Amino acid sequence: MAGEKSISTRAALDRERIAATAMELINEVGVDRLTMRAVAARLDVSAMALYHHVEDKGELLRLVGDDVLGHIELPDPDSGDWRELFTSISMAAVEALLEVRGLSSVLLSSKMLPNARRLVRFCIYQFERGGMSHAAAQEVYAGVHTLVLGRLLIEESAIFRVGPTAHPDDEIRDYVAKLRSRESFCGALSALADRHITT
């Protein structure tokens, strides 16, 4: 009977359930205090059972991040202006990941999970619609990926937060405001695409 229960528990334990449980704990204690042991306990399984599905905390966070990205609804890839589509999806990805502080690490890995891959493919296709070769489209998206990472790190870092007292240097204060603005980010995305279209 014990063997049957073990098999039943393992069958019921899937990556979707693990990601949802990890998200619950992140909302309660934050990313830094999330542990594999705590997730296993919340799932009422052994740590070994959890490690059967997820190799470490890094993969666990990628799983949560990919689940977050999975809630982004992609429009028909041929339904509108290619630049507007890739910009809106890039912004949606940033905003979705920022809802859970500490998930920028999801994009700092070559182990790209399914929902992240679908966003990459969607954006690369938009660049191809704009007239780029597949190689050029990949190059542009590499630049977009870098911009997105920078945006996430700026938003998550206390260093770039506006303090209670004004910065003594007006120019630096104004620059930091622009650095954190949505308009600057969108402008950088468009400029990157335009550079590759015109060369």
Q: Which H, E and C letters describe 76-132, residue by residue?
A: CCCCCCHHHHHHHHHHHHHHHHHCCCCHHHHHCCCCCCHHHHHHHHHHHHHHHHCCC
> Where residue 159 falls among pLDDT bands split at 50, 70, 90?
low
- Here the contacts of 74-78 (C-beta below 8 Å, separation 24 or greater) are 74/118, 74/119, 74/122, 77/122, 77/125, 77/126, 77/129, 78/129
Q: Which two tokens stand for residue 18?
A: 């693990």
Q: What is the pLDDT of residues 86-138, one digit of tens each?
A: 999 999 988 888 888 777 666 666 678 889 899 999 999 999 999 999 999 99
What pLDDT is attached to residue 123? 94
Structure tokens at 79: 């339904």
Q: Which residue has tokens 């920022």?
A: 98
The full set of domains in the chain, from first to last, is: 2-54 (1.10.10), 74-198 (1.10.357.10)
> In the structure encoding, which two tokens stand for residue 122, read together?
């969607």
Return the closest-CA partner of residue 109 out of 156, 51, 62, 152. 62
Which of 116, 125, 126 is closest to 92 using CA atoms?
116
User: Helix (H, G, I), strand (E, B), or coil: what is residue 71?
Assistant: coil
The structure's pTM equals 0.78
pLDDT (tens digit, 9 = 90+) per residue, 126-140? 999 999 999 999 999
Residue pair 144/130 in contact (Cβ under 8 Å)? The answer is: no
> What is the token pair recorded at 181?
């603005």
d(Cα 188, Cα 143) in Å, to the nearest integer?
A: 10
